[in-house]
Chains A and B, each alone.
Chain A
């Protein structure tokens, strides 16, 4: 059996492996959410967070581009009201709304034949339809991490694009090496999704993460 870590727990684990994550605040009430949002500056993202909640988007538990304090309070109240008994302990997660044209995905998977592997790919809603992804077995070397990025078909997406600089490949390679170390250190981790990983001014930033651990 396995269980999923909550988004804040997942991101905290990634942060230990030097994977850059968007700053966020986990709070209990809508009023606290508004206060945290004011600290970040608007707009913000407000999500319902809890260790038993794996698919927030599918359940409508992610509010993007929330523009001011009143809107944060309204969103926070609505999200807390949408919690189900089986979600267990829940809270509100507030984070600044990052703007990025490009989304990547990265992760860890345990392959039945080859064991632990790290993935990188073109992210976003079309990820699975595009299937532009590359895998390597754990442990990755620095050369492996760089070559994975070269394997992706959509190289034009990784270069300078629409006024944004090219993806910082060295920074992205460090994310993949971090995932590899995480997979090596933590036998109990059976999957990691870093999705999406936004490319902000060329730098990869994780805005959501889901870690699954064996029990």
Chain B
């Protein structure tokens, strides 16, 4: 069956949803699914079926999908019934004109030979009926533009531009947790489960044509059709960046190689080469994957590799410069005119080179002014700004300390908090004005998310990186992707 745009729209933007196999027990998936659908903002009608009847969470239970009222507008059925009941559910869906189901039930290919046979049967019947099956054995899907939380797990992420697809439901949760913590939100997310009929490339292609999604973020383990995967991935990255996190050894393993080339062709190396060729961003860790996706979602692409680091204190700048030195980015010499312009605003003890270490010489307006100067320099393509929130961190000690009500302390606390918010706003504005990435980094993003520095970075819709080197790694991914596109599009 060819998966049409209509099928995928039914999955992600259903007018109404029915949960098949609702349970009245709050610990069961059939209850959790209904609960999550009802509580996260989905505006369409929600129905449920089970064998006991009655009401669950105020929703009257139908005996079968066949009992849906004639005027019910249901486009998606979320299936929590046991595998043995699911062919019947599909047939009832077809009678009601429903064209998309998400099957969360287990007992399929993950469960041995019988399960594999059941899965093949499910897919074959769905094909005959023209129904798109997502899953089985998946944890659900999320579509924030319509408030759809059709999943048997938490969390529900804020709305944003990252489109997630994962062959492990747990990683959908992980990425969505990062999204909640950082404020960098998600457009759509699918736990592909066994991906029997709806695969990772199918979803990435949908995301690439989806106005709500600016970057794909995928966790993959096994890849069924490697050549097709590589080709489709390359087509997607020509339209939208894709971040891949890969787990595990691939199926099969290499044949005993007679050639040196064969002996060197480990799965990991071939996968790595495939990613480079297709222009996909391969991340080596979960954090790196989310950092990169968040960077693509919240930053413009750099036009070149030349980076300036702006820091309020020495060590952070040094370590960040080291990270740049071992990357494909360039820590540029500061242009003379820029150095002269900064000289006018700082006492002579500033570093006078890159990293731009203000060495505590800044006054009220220095940071926003220097950020602007650096961002506007034609010889700089991107900026990493370190140290936002440092003053507010001290302010918090003062506010919470026993002298907090002292008038002088209150005034300085308020000043520092205003200033850090202003610096975060300035980084956002300088990026918008220059069209260049400006990445802010401070561990306060994790240590004290309520600090006005990182909190304001979040409020401006940007991502606050937890460390300078992590910002550098994300920026390197932006640059590699930009360069990949440019080399191939000749622009």
Chain A residues within 8 Å of B, Cβ to Cβ: 2, 4, 54, 105-109, 111-115, 117, 119, 121, 127-128, 131, 133-137, 140-141, 143-144, 147-148, 151, 191-193, 195, 210, 212
Contact = CB atoms under 8 A, between A and B. Distances in A.
Contacts of B262: 109, 191
B254 interface: yes
B24 to A, nearest CB: 46
Interface stretch (B14-22, B104-112, B266-274): B266-274
A131 B273 CA distance: 14
Given A111-B254, A136-B274, 11 more contacts: A2-B258, A112-B251, A114-B230, A127-B260, A133-B264, A137-B273, A151-B273, A191-B258, A191-B262, A192-B259, A210-B259
B397 interface: no
B360 interface: no
B261 A119 contact: yes
Given A113-B252, A114-B230, A137-B230, A191 B261 contact: yes
A86 B112 CA distance: 46
A34 B28 CA distance: 85
Contacts of A212: 258-259
B250 interface: yes
Contacts of A134: 269, 273, 276
Interface string B235-276: 000000000000000111111011111111101011111101
B117 interface: no
21 contacts: A4-B258, A106-B261, A107-B260, A109-B265, A111-B226, A112-B251, A113-B252, A113-B267, A114-B230, A117-B270, A119-B265, A128-B260, A128-B263, A131-B264, A131-B269, A134-B276, A144-B277, A151-B273, A195-B260, A195-B261, A212-B259
Nearest to B253: A112
A192 B227 CA distance: 20
A36 to B, nearest CB: 28
B468 to A, nearest CB: 24
B270 A107 contact: no
Interface in B217-244: 223, 226-227, 230
B277 A112 contact: no
Contact of B277 (A54, A113, A136): A136
Please name the 4 residue pairs, one residue from A and one from B, whose CB atoms are nearest each other, closest first.
Answer: A107-B261, A135-B273, A113-B226, A114-B226
A136 B23 CA distance: 50
A109 to B, nearest CB: 4
Contact of B488 (A108, A143, A193): A143
A131 B260 CA distance: 11
Contacts of B271: 114
Contacts of B251: 112-113
Interface in B464-491: 487-488
Contacts of A114: 226-227, 230, 270-271, 274
B269 A135 contact: yes
B259 A128 contact: no
Interface residues of B, number: 30
Given A143-B488, A191-B261, A193-B260, A137 B255 contact: no
Contacts of B261: 105-109, 119, 191-193, 195
Contacts of A193: 259-261
A117 B265 contact: yes
Given A143-B487, A210-B259, A212-B258, A136 B276 contact: yes
Contacts of A191: 257-259, 261-262
Nearest to B487: A143
Contacts of A2: 258
Contacts of A131: 264, 269
Given A111-B265, A137-B227, A212-B259, A117 B252 contact: no
B227 A112 contact: no
Q: Which of B251, B257, B271, B276 has the most CB of A within 10 A?
A: B276
B431 to A, nearest CB: 29
Contact of B276 (A106, A107, A113, A147): A147
Contacts of A121: 264
A141 B276 CA distance: 12
A58 B219 CA distance: 43
A127 B264 CA distance: 9
A82 to B, nearest CB: 21
B260 A111 contact: no
Contacts of B277: 136-137, 140, 144, 147
Interface string B33-62: 000000000000000000000000000000
Nearest to A114: B226
Nearest to B488: A143
A4 B259 CA distance: 10
A215 to B, nearest CB: 14
Given A107-B261, A121-B264, A127-B260, A135 B253 contact: no
Contacts of A113: 223, 226, 250-252, 267, 270
B274 A137 contact: yes
Given A112-B254, A113-B250, A115-B226, A136 B273 contact: yes
Given A114-B270, A117-B270, A135-B269, A107 B263 contact: no
